[in-house]
Each structure stands twice: as structure tokens, then as C-alpha cells.
Amino acid sequence: MAKTNNTVRVLDTNVRFEDNTLGDFICISDIAKTTGKRPDIVIQNWLRNRSTVEFLGEWEMLHNPKFNPHDFEEVKNASGSNAFSLSPTEWIRSMEAIGITSSTGRSGGTFAHFDIALHFCNWLSPRFYVHIVKEFRQMKEKEFSKKSLAWHLEKITNNIDEVRNLLDTIPGQNPVLNRLNYLKGKDE
């Protein structure tokens, strides 16, 4: 899993994200810190909800061929009850989940796929949800624009002779400046 650490600023909060083969993974621990409470407790409270467990199960069934729907049914049926609790690491371990990652240490935290992180944001704070969508959309538009320009420049430089030949076929050119006419005259 190739990871590139980046940060986006949302409502005066730095939120880390990582590139992953599945897409962008956003640090929901950073988002949970905005509550002023311990992020691990906030995330566990989110994971207690039946609707959260159902959402995670649906996401995993769609994206994870190793996901076991039979074990999931047991967790889903227990979710929402007063005695139910679930940590990110328990979810990952018991379900072989790929949509959430969790690590400890200085750069650790709980990261979730963009889809799952949006679900978390909407549960935690609709205001934060709206702003994170806005920031990521702007960031992706800039990223796409840069990639698009780089792709076009690479195609042009890799195929410079084809580009020159294409330009030489434009009607109404000065025959003296037309490279094809010049090359024809050289051959004769």
C-alpha cells in the first residue's frame, strides 16, 4: 500500500490524508479532535451506531472480496444495543476490513476511505462535512488540472514529429515555412 502523507485545512483544523490503492484515506482521528474529546472515544461512539455498522458492511461488501458477510451479521445484530462497543481495530481484525486503517505512534491515527470518512463527518458535524467536501473537491480539481496539463505535455513531447506533421497540414500556411514542403524539395 503506497502512502503519501498530505494535509488539508478544514475549519482551522489540519486533517491528514493518505493516498492508497483504494483511493484517499482521511484521518478521522484528526476530525474527531475537533470535538475537544478523546478521538478514540468519539470514533468508538460512531462505531456503536447500527447505521454506521450497516454502512461499513455495505461498503466492505462492495470493495472487499475477503469480507465475511456471515460474521458481519452477528456484529450488525448486536450493534446499537447498550452493551455493544466496537473499536476500529476490532472492526478491522474481525471483519478483515480494508476501508479503515488504524495505527499507533506519532503519525498514527484512524484513517478511513473517503466514502467512510464522509459518513463519519456527517454523523459528527454537518458543518464540518460540508466544508471537507468543499476543500477536497477544490484540491482534486487542482490535482486533475495539473495531471491533465502534464499528460498533454508528455504526449506532445513524446510525439513531437507527429505534432509537427499535424501542424504542417494546416491549410493556408506560408509554403516557405511548411516543413513538409521543405522536406519534399530536399528529396528532389
pLDDT tens sequence across 14-57: 889 888 888 889 999 999 999 999 999 999 999 999 999 999 99
What crossing angle do the helices spanning 50-63 and 39-48 adopt, rounded to 10°?
A: 90
Whether residue 156 is predicted with pLDDT greater than 90 in this model: the reply is no
86-115 pLDDT, tens digit per residue, is 999 999 999 999 999 998 877 789 999 999
Q: What is the 3-state secondary structure (H, E, C) of the chain?
A: CCCCEEEEEECCEEEEEEEECCEEEEEHHHHHHHHCCCHHHHHHHHHHCHHHHHHHHHHHHHHCCCCCHHHHHHHHHHCCCCCCCCCHHHHHHHHCCCCEEEECCCCCEEEEEHHHHHHHHHHHCHHHHHHHHHHHHHHHHHHHHHHHHHHHHHHHHHCHHHHHHHHHCCCCCCCCCCHHHHHHHHHC
183 band by pLDDT with thresholds 50, 70 and 90? low
Instruction: Give the domain range for residue 34.
Output: 5-124
Same domain, 109 and 167: no
96 and 159 share one domain: no
132 within domain boundaries: no
119 and 172 both lie in a single domain = no
107 and 179 assigned to the same domain = no
pLDDT tier at 70, thresholds 50, 70, 90: confident
Are residues 39 and 74 both part of a single domain?
A: yes
Shared domain check, 103 and 152: no
Q: What integer is the mean pLDDT of 157-181? A: 68
163 or 101: which carries more pLDDT confidence? 101
My answer on whether 83 and 119 are in the same domain is yes
User: Is residue 130 situated within a structural domain?
Assistant: no
Domain count, the chain: 2
Residue 2 has a pLDDT of: 39
Burial class of residue 48 (count of CB atoms within 10 Å of its CB; 0-12, 13-18, 19+): middle
Assigned domain for 102 exists: yes
Task: Answer with the residue of higher pLDDT: 72 or 4.
Answer: 72
pTM: 0.71
Please check whether residues 22 and 103 belong to one and the same domain.
yes
- The more confidently predicted of residues 165 and 23 is 23
For residue 143, is it within any domain? no
115 and 153 inside one domain: no
